[in-house]
């Protein structure tokens, strides 16, 4: 595994360890390569409660990652009114030394913004 992929995996494991609550009701899952490692880290917790959480994907790829992990997804549009997502995880294309993040301008950006702004906590997962 390339060094950057190792960094992404380690960042995801740390982010999940520090910010994921197995008793959460809704968890946002962003898009991109780092999110695969976030979902792997959640699944690795081997806590029965993670299967009761509704995971809110921001795109087709993240929905497939959630589905392939055997977790339950829910579309953002299907959330009950006034729902607050407990925590949202997403990656960044670039992060500078001041922790300013650059997000891609891809098709998922709008959905990522919706999920992030409806989350109690937003966690940007990035490796160096």
DSSP state of 102: E
Query: Can you tell me whether residue 41 is helix, strand or coil?
Result: helix
**Rounded to whole angstroms, what are the CA distances from 51 to 21, 24, 32, 104?**
12, 11, 22, 30
Residue 116 CA to residue 79 CA, distance in Å, equals 14
Catalytic status, residue 40: no
Catalytic residue among 5, 40, 94, 112: 112
Kindly list the catalytic residues: 112
């Amino acid at each position: 595994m390339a060094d950057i992929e190792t960094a992404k995996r380690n960042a995801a494991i740390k982010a999940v360890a520090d910010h994921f609550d197995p008793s959460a009701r809704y968890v946002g899952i962003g898009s991109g390569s780092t999110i695969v490692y976030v979902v792997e880290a959640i699944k690795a917790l081997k806590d029965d409660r993670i299967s009761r959480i509704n995971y809110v994907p921001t795109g087709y790829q993240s929905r497939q990652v959630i589905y392939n992990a055997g977790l339950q997804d829910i579309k953002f549009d299907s959330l009950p009114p006034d729902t607050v997502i407990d925590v949202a995880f997403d990656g960044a294309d670039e992060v500078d030394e001041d922790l300013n993040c650059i997000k891609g301008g891809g098709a998922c950006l709008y959905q990522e913004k919706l999920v992030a702004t409806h989350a109690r906590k937003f966690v940007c997962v990035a490796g160096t």
